[in-house]
C-alpha cells in the first residue's frame, strides 16, 4: 500500500503563523488529543474484536483436528496437531484435557527474550480472555481445550500507532501555540472533520472514511497522519478477515481431499432434509466406501492411500451437479447428497456414473497403476426414510449389502 503524500505548505495552504494572531492552545490541543485518543482506542477495540474471533476459529480448528487423538487419548498425536496449527498463528499456549480432566497437551510458544515478555504483558492487558471450548465427538464432550493468544499483533500496532499519535500531537502542539481567536472557525472546522471521522470509525465501523484536506498546512498534515493510521487499521482488518475466512474453510473441509468434512456434511444434510420436507421434494443420499482400501495402505503405504483418496474425491466431485454435496466422512468413506431428486432412476444413473468413474485405473506416484472399486448405498427421502438418522442408517445398510454382493461375485482390486 502506497502511503498518501503529504501536501507541502506551498501547495495552496497558508502557514499557521500567517493566519493566527492569538492562540487557543488549550482548546486546539485538547481537541486533537481527544481525536487521536479516540482513533487509537477504536483501533485497539477493532483489533481486539477481530483477534477474539480469530482465536475462536483457531480453537474450533484445533478442536476438530485433535478430536480423534483425544478420543483415543493419543497425547503425542494431539500435541503434533496442536503444534502444526498453533505455531504459525498468534497463540501463546494451548492446553487440552480429556473428559476426566487429565491433561493430554500443554503446549506453549517457545519464543523467548524481551519480545515475548512484552507480548505476554500486552496479551494480559488487551488480548481477549482465555478461550475455553469443549471437544465434541458424536455429539458428546470428550475433552476440553484452553487457548491463550499472544500480543504480537497488538505490539506491532501499538508501536506504529504510538509513533503516529506522538507525531500528530507534537505537530498539533506547534500549531496550537499560534492559534488566534480571530480565526477560530478556521481551526474548529478541520478538527470537527477529524473528530467526525474518528466517531464514525469507532461507532459505525466506517473504516472507508477519510479526513478531507484542510486549508491550513499543519492541520492538513494532521489529517493525513490520521488517514495513514486508518489505512493501517483497514489493512489489519482485511488481513484478519482473510485469515478468518481461511480458518473457517479449514474447519469445514477435509484437509487431505479439500472436500467437505463430516461435521459440515451432517449440518448441511440436516438443513437440506428440512428444505426437502418443506418443498415436498425427494432427497437422495449416497453412501460410498472404497473396497479393500486397507490392502492399498498395507502394500503400497499410506502415501499411496492418500493419493487414492484424493483421486476418488476429485472424480466423485466431477460427476455431481454444482449444487450437490460430496464429503469425506473419514477413512475411505464418502457420502453425497443429491437435491432436488426428481426421479429415482436419475439417482441410480448417478450412482452408476460414480461407480464407473471411480473404477477407472489410477496412476500413482512411482508409476503404480491401481484399480479400485467403490460400494455405493442409496437412501431416498421420504421413500426409504423420514429422518436424518433413518436416512443415514438405511444408506449405510444398503452400502454393506453392495459390499456383500461384490464379495460374492469375487470382485477384487488389481494392482500393476
DSSP code string of 278-336? HHT-EEEEEEEEETTHHHHHHHH-HHHHHHHHHHHHHHHHHHS-TT-EEEEEETTEEEE
Angle at 33 between CA 31 and CA 34, to 5 degrees: 65
Q: Hey, which residues are catalytic here? A: 332
| Residue 320 shares a structural domain with residue 357 | yes
- Is the Cβ–Cβ distance between 68 and 82 less than 8 Å? no
- Is the Cβ–Cβ distance between 136 and 145 less than 8 Å? no
| Residue 304 shares a structural domain with residue 373 | yes
Classify each residue of 75-110 as buried b or exposed e, where b means 16 or more C-beta atoms within 10 Å of its C-beta: bebbbbbbeebbeebbbbbbbbbbbeeeebbebebe
| Residue 104 shares a structural domain with residue 245 | yes
| Residue 129 shares a structural domain with residue 188 | yes
Sheet holding 362-363, edge to edge: 362-363, 369-371, 414-415
Number of domains in the chain: 2
- What does the chain come to in residues? 416
d(CA 68, CA 136): 10
CA 298 to chain centre: 36
| Residue 169 shares a structural domain with residue 292 | no
Angle at 184 between CA 179 and CA 190, to 5 degrees: 90
Residue 287: which domain range?
Answer: 262-415
| Residue 370 shares a structural domain with residue 328 | yes
Domain stops at, among 252, 275, 304: 252
d(CA 169, CA 166): 5
CATH label of the domain that carries residue 307: 3.30.70.270
Give burial (CB, 10 Å; 0-12/13-18/19+) of 349: exposed
| Residue 276 shares a structural domain with residue 245 | no
Give the strand pairing for 103-108 and 282-290: unpaired
| 257: in domain | no
| 162: in domain | yes
| 289: in domain | yes
Domain stops at, among 252, 275, 306: 252
| Residue 182 shares a structural domain with residue 96 | yes
Cell of 246: 481461511
0.85 exceeded by pTM: no
Sole residue written with cell 482465555: 130
Give the strand pairing for 325-330 and 333-341: antiparallel
Across-strand partners of 360? none
Percentage of residues in the chain with pLDDT exceeding 70? 76
Q: How far is CA 144 from CA 62, 67, 105, 133, 309, in A?
A: 11, 10, 11, 6, 31
| 27: in domain | yes
Cα-flanking dihedrals φ and ψ of residue 24, to 5°?
A: -115, 65
| Residue 344 shares a structural domain with residue 199 | no
Domain stops at, among 252, 286, 321: 252
Phi-psi region of 337 (alpha: psi -120 to 50; beta: other; left: phi over 0): beta
Q: Which residues contact 402 (CB under 8 A, 6 or more apart)?
A: 375, 376, 377
- Residue 54 confidence (pLDDT): 80
| 377: in domain | yes
- Residue 113 confidence (pLDDT): 59
| 95: in domain | yes
Render 338-403 in DSSP notation, one character per residue.
Answer: EEEE--HHHHHHHHHHHHHHHTS-EEPTTS-EEE--EEEEEEEETTT-SSHHHHHHHHHHHHHHHH
Give burial (CB, 10 Å; 0-12/13-18/19+) of 351: buried
| Residue 229 shares a structural domain with residue 370 | no
The residue ranges of the chain whose pLDDT is under 50 are 1-12, 15-21, 411-416
| 2: in domain | yes
| Residue 322 shares a structural domain with residue 377 | yes
| 159: in domain | yes
| Residue 212 shares a structural domain with residue 272 | no
Amino acid at each position: 500500500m502506497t502511503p498518501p503524500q503529504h501536501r507541502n505548505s506551498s501547495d495552496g495552504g497558508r502557514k499557521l503563523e500567517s493566519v493566527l494572531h492569538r492562540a487557543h492552545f488549550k482548546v486546539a490541543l485538547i481537541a486533537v488529543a481527544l481525536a487521536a485518543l479516540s482513533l487509537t482506542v477504536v483501533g485497539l477495540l477493532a483489533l481486539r474484536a477481530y483477534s477474539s474471533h480469530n482465536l475462536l476459529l483457531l480453537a474450533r480448528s484445533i478442536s476438530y483436528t485433535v478430536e480423534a487423538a483425544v478420543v483415543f487419548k493419543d497425547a503425542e498425536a494431539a500435541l503434533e496437531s496442536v503444534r502444526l496449527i498453533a505455531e504459525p498463528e498468534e497463540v501463546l499456549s494451548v492446553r487440552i484435557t480429556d473428559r476426566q480432566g487429565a491433561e493430554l497437551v500443554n503446549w506453549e510458544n517457545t519464543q523467548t527474550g524481551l519480545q515475548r515478555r512484552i507480548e505476554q504483558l500486552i496479551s494480559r492487558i488487551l488480548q481477549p480472555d482465555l478461550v475455553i471450548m469443549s471437544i465434541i465427538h458424536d455429539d458428546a464432550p470428550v475433552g476440553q481445550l484452553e487457548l491463550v493468544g499472544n500480543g504480537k499483533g497488538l505490539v506491532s500496532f501499538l508501536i506504529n500507532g504510538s509513533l503516529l499519535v506522538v507525531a500528530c500531537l507534537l505537530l498539533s502542539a506547534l500549531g496550537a501555540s499560534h492559534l488566534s481567536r480571530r480565526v477560530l472557525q478556521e481551526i474548529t472546522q478541520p478538527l470537527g472533520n477529524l473528530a467526525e471521522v474518528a466517531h464514525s470509525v469507532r461507532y459505525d465501523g466506517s473504516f472507508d472514511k477519510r479526513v478531507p484536506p484542510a486549508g491550513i498546512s499543519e492541520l492538513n498534515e494532521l489529517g493525513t497522519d490520521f488517514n495513514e493510521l486508518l489505512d493501517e487499521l483497514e489493512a489489519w482488518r482485511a488481513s484478519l478477515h482473510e485469515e478468518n475466512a481461511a480458518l473457517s474453510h479449514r474447519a469445514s473441509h477435509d484437509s487431505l481431499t479439500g472436500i467437505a468434512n463430516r461435521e459440515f456434511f451432517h449440518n448441511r444434510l440436516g438443513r437440506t432434509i428440512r428444505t426437502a420436507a418443506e418443498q415436498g421434494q425427494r432427497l437422495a443420499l449416497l453412501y460410498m466406501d472404497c473396497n479393500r482400501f486397507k490392502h492399498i495402505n498395507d502394500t503400497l503405504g499410506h502415501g499411496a492411500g492418500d493419493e487414492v483418496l484424493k483421486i476418488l474425491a476429485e472424480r466423485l466431485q466431477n460427476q455431481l451437479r454444482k449444487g450437490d454435496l460430496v464429503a469425506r466422512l473419514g477413512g475411505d468413506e464418502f457420502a453425497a447428497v443429491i437435491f432436488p431428486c426428481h426421479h429415482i432412476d436419475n439417482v441410480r444413473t448417478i450412482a452408476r456414473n460414480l461407480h464407473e468413474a471411480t473404477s477407472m485405473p489410477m496412476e500413482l506416484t512411482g508409476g503404480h497403476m491401481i484399480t479400485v472399486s467403490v460400494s455405493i448405498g442409496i437412501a431416498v427421502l421420504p421413500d426409504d426414510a423420514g429422518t436424518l438418522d433413518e436416512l443415514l442408517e438405511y444408506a449405510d445398510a444398503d452400502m454393506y449389502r453392495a459390499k456383500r454382493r461384490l464379495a460374492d461375485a469375487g470382485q477384487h482390486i488389481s494392482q500393476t
